[in-house]
Amino acid sequence: MSKRIVYSDQPIEIGRRVGRAVLPGHGGARLGAGRPRSGNKSVTLRLPAKLIKAVRRDAKRAGQTMSEFVASKLER
């Protein structure tokens, strides 16, 4: 049996685990863990192949990603 570090005097009772106490700070995701949200939403569009080629070509010439290129054109 491993030792647990006690962070508080009172253990927290969680869920259906009757009779078992979980000490604070053990388990679960940490606050702020993971990638930050970019604020962008993914969208799937069904476009003709010729249009996709043209957008890809123009975005490459502009030195942007396809998403940046299309977003800049649609913002106008």
Residue 6: which of 24, 29, 30 has the closest Cα? 24
- 3-state secondary structure at position 39: coil
Which pLDDT tens digits describe the chain residue by residue (76 residues)? 566 665 666 655 555 555 555 555 556 667 777 788 888 888 899 999 999 999 999 999 999 999 999 999 999 7
- The confidence score (pLDDT) of residue 2 equals 66
Please give the model's pTM, rounded to 2 decimal places: 0.51
DSSP annotation of 2 reads -
